[in-house]
Amino acid sequence: MSISKERILEYKKNFGLRVRELRESKGFSQLDLASEINVEKTSISRIENGRTNVTLVTAVKLANALGVELKNLFEF
């Protein structure tokens, strides 16, 4: 049973909101987080707005920078 495009979009959005939530609770700006994982600020903005199909490696770097376990990024 395949999964709809709408559901996949929802996952991207929820992942982005989760990153934003964790970033803000850490008191990081998008620029802070971007420089921690060596990407442009726009990349963080796109991730948080659900417009990026992030990879496992980027997720690992985000979790490391945010000081959380990888699975915490996917708790939504």
Least separation in angstroms between residue 17's CB and its own copies is 13
Nearer to its own copies, 27 or 38 (CB): 38
> How far is Cα 27 from Cα 25, in angstroms, rounded to an integer?
5
Minimum Å gap between C-beta 73 and its own copies is 8
CA trace torsion 57, 41, 53, 71 (10° rounding): 50
Residue ranges in contact with its own copies by CB under 8 A: 1-3, 7-8, 11-12, 15, 36-38, 53-57, 59-61, 64, 70-71, 73-75
Type of residue at 63: A
